[in-house]
Amino acid sequence: MHSTEQPAPPRRWRIGGVVAAMAATLTLAACGGGSDGDSKTSTASAGGGSTTSGGGSGTLTIGVSSDPQTLDPEWGQAHRANETIKNLYAQWTRYEVIDNGDGTLKADLTKDPVGEAIESYTLSDDGKTVNIKLRPDAKLPDGEPITADTFLFKVERALEMNAGSIFDFNILGITKMSQVKKVSDSEIQFKLPNPSPIVGPMLRDQDAGLVDPKLVKEHMTDDDPWGTEWVAQNGAPTGAYVIEKYEPGRQLVLKANPNYWGEKPNFERVVLQVIPDEGQRAQLLRQGAIDIAADMSTDAIARLDGAPGVRVHSVPAISQDQLGLVNDKPPFNDARVRQAIAYAIPYQSLADNVLGGRAATPKGVWPQNSAWFDESVEWPYATDPEKAKQLLAEAGAENLEFTVQISDADADAQALAVPIQSALRDIGVTMNIEKVAAARFSKNLTKRSMQAWIQSGLGAYVDDPYYMAFLSYASTAVINWTNYKNEKVDDITEELSKTVDRDRRQELATELQAALNQDVPIIPLAEPNWMLPTREDIEGVLWEPDGLLTYRLLKRAGD
């Protein structure tokens, strides 16, 4: 879901609670029919345990900027909520893990996800039927088995609540419960309108996590038929951790789920300590009073680099800091003006001076660390003030003035804005900077009410061209915050939704990148690394595209 919370590690380009009222628009345009065929092609099987092992002892303390915005996976939106949800709720699938050999881990994105709460999923010959076999040993925290009814309850709750998690199923083409069938207590089936290339990745999304039906049903009322108010405050966990104690504004204490079927978490308890001031979080990390300082700005992390006892994890990622230009409002309804701004940006200076050298300069609207990035697609926008002036003159946009909005919670965006303002002044453009409250910024994004915006750390939770296009660049995309419209991009998005052939999908991804680079609906300012400061004895830090920590894999060196 797309978070507007900052500062934070990369956020996903997808629908969130902030735009849940628009979730009904997320149904796929394509429709299909025909025979389902025989189920033959296995795309995932149950994965083994993690690359670490442990008996579940000790406590991990993470300094966080705030409470999670919700404990309900249907409403996950901002980074802090998403990470908490990921660790409380069992996902259907997970990525296999590669051990980097230095105490860190990374998701193996070269392979399809494997089973977590499910044992396997298989696709029919025509790709329209997904047969899902459940793990026989998966249990709820009270020891009762996880059955097909648990999964069906999750899907129905997501669809009926019409909340952010509906995206996980809508993007696969599931818009009604008649498409989800209970075959037996240990098997369910999806009927899709078209083949989907991202079944596995979407089922590992944290918002697809299973809720405990019994807990939810105990708190369903006529006024709140899905128990949302209670779950948001108390949770209904099914994953590796459950909630031991929650003191809003102070701490959230998680404890290892005694009936979790996978390898036990290495830490028996995880304490999310609310420390709003990032300077204080940094100091406590230096002192060893906390193990991880989360939600830190790039500048704050840079000051921790080299501190005794501290390790700064820095991983090239698929996130971007972006300048969004609302395309259907003057002056940015003229592509030449957008291109002119792109030529004026001091990319290398932003990466080196603002982001401390822990960022790459962009090579296109598409992030260069994506598996689908095609470096042959032209990205002409090296810093060239004279070219920028020429394009502004051609567009009749001399003496241009506009306002860019920035969230007051986004420290990196604020730092980026000042040198951009200076660079634009050099080409005769006045960029006014308006800092607004995070909630208002989020609302304005949804309304597309501003002329321009800057956000840091925007990243795709699934590295896939359809995922990115469906979320951000198709004309009907819910987080198409720039109101960008291109019929060719819409056609490519529709074809990507039902194309599973890898070679054809790469061709379409390349066409998509070329169109976006020409139109520049957004200007990528930099591609920052995913960064996390920890104590040097913390191992098992796993990087995944969502930028969310997996607590059960973390351990203390020597344990």
- What are the angstrom distances between the C-alpha of 365 and each of 182, 301, 320, 455, 526? 42, 26, 9, 14, 10
Range with lowest mean pLDDT among 18-27, 92-101, 126-135, 362-371: 18-27
Q: What is the pLDDT of residue 393?
A: 97
pLDDT-derived band at 57, boundaries 50, 70, 90: low
**Separation between Cα atoms, residue 415 and residue 37, nearest integer Å:** 55
pLDDT-derived band at 395, boundaries 50, 70, 90: very high
* pLDDT at 34 exceeding the cut of 50: no
Please list the alpha-helical segments (H only) found in 162-292. 166-170, 199-202, 213-218, 228-234, 278-287
Host H or E run for residue 245: strand 241-247
CA max distance for the chain: 70
**Separation between Cα atoms, residue 180 and residue 163, nearest integer Å:** 18
* pLDDT at 252 exceeding the cut of 60: yes
Q: Which strand ranges, in their side-by-side order, compose the sheet holding 129-134?
A: 39-45, 118-124, 129-134, 187-191, 180-184
Q: What is the pLDDT of residue 115?
A: 95
Q: What is the pLDDT of residue 27?
A: 30
Q: What is the distance, to the nearest Å, from the Cα of residue 356 to the centroid of all Cα atoms in its chain?
A: 24
Q: What is the pLDDT of residues 404-436, one digit of tens each?
A: 999 988 999 999 999 999 999 999 999 999 999
**Backbone φ, ψ for residue 322 (5° rounding):** -130, 145
Q: What is the pLDDT of residues 262-305, one digit of tens each?
A: 889 999 999 999 999 999 999 999 999 999 999 999 999 999 99
Is residue 209 within 8 A of residue 238, CB to CB? The reply is yes
Residues 316-335 have a mean pLDDT of 95
Q: What is the pLDDT of residues 168-205, one digit of tens each?
A: 999 999 999 999 999 999 999 999 999 999 999 999 99
Peptide bond into 201 cis (omega under 30): no
Q: Which residue has the tokens 């470096």?
A: 375
**Separation between Cα atoms, residue 93 and residue 87, nearest integer Å:** 14
Closest CA to 470 of 451, 447, 445, 497: 497
Amino acid present at 198: I
pLDDT-derived band at 446, boundaries 50, 70, 90: confident
Q: What is the pLDDT of residues 494-545, one digit of tens each?
A: 999 999 999 999 999 999 999 999 999 999 999 999 999 999 999 999 999 9
Q: What is the pLDDT of residue 479?
A: 85
Q: What is the pLDDT of residues 153-178, one digit of tens each?
A: 999 999 999 988 898 999 999 999 99
CB atoms within 10 A of CB 29: 11
DSSP 368-384: TTSTT--TTS----SS-
* pLDDT at 13 exceeding the cut of 80: no
List of long-range contacts for 230-235, beta carbons under 8 Å, 24+ apart: 231/71, 231/72, 231/74, 232/70, 232/71, 232/72, 232/75, 233/71, 234/71, 235/71, 235/72, 235/88
Range with lowest mean pLDDT among 173-177, 246-250, 417-421, 477-481: 477-481
Q: What is the pLDDT of residue 471?
A: 86
**Separation between Cα atoms, residue 175 and residue 189, nearest integer Å:** 14
* pLDDT at 492 exceeding the cut of 70: yes
Closest CA to 121 of 175, 176, 192: 192
Query: Residue 382 is encoded by which pair of tokens?
Result: 């090296």
Q: What is the pTM of this model?
A: 0.83
* pLDDT at 330 exceeding the cut of 60: yes
* pLDDT at 18 exceeding the cut of 90: no
**Separation between Cα atoms, residue 339 and residue 323, nearest integer Å:** 12
Q: What is the pLDDT of residue 439?
A: 78
Instruction: Answer positive or negative: Cα dihedral of 112, 116, 122, 128.
Output: negative
Residues 104-130 have a mean pLDDT of 94
**Separation between Cα atoms, residue 3 and residue 16, nearest integer Å:** 7
* pLDDT at 309 exceeding the cut of 70: yes
Range with lowest mean pLDDT among 23-27, 57-61, 298-302: 23-27
Residues 138-154 have a mean pLDDT of 97
Query: Residue 264 is encoded by which pair of tokens?
Result: 């036990």
**Backbone φ, ψ for residue 252 (5° rounding):** -125, 120
Q: What is the distance, to the nearest Å, from the Cα of residue 310 to the centroid of all Cα atoms in its chain?
A: 27
Q: What is the pLDDT of residues 447-458, one digit of tens each?
A: 899 999 999 989
CB atoms within 10 A of CB 382: 12
**Separation between Cα atoms, residue 393 and residue 133, nearest integer Å:** 62
Q: What is the pLDDT of residue 431?
A: 98
Render the burial of 183-202: b for 16+ CB within 10 Å, e for the rest. eeebbbbbbbbbbbbbbbbb
SS (H, E, C) 123-164: EECCCCEEEEEECCCCECCCCCECCHHHHHHHHHHHHHHCCC
Is residue 360 within 8 A of residue 526, CB to CB? The reply is yes
* pLDDT at 77 exceeding the cut of 80: no
Query: Residue 259 is encoded by which pair of tokens?
Result: 């009936």
Q: Is 81 helix (H, G, I), strand (E, B) or coil?
A: helix
* pLDDT at 21 exceeding the cut of 60: no
Decide which of 76 and 552 is more confident. 552
Mean pLDDT of the residues in the chain: 89
pLDDT-derived band at 257, boundaries 50, 70, 90: very high
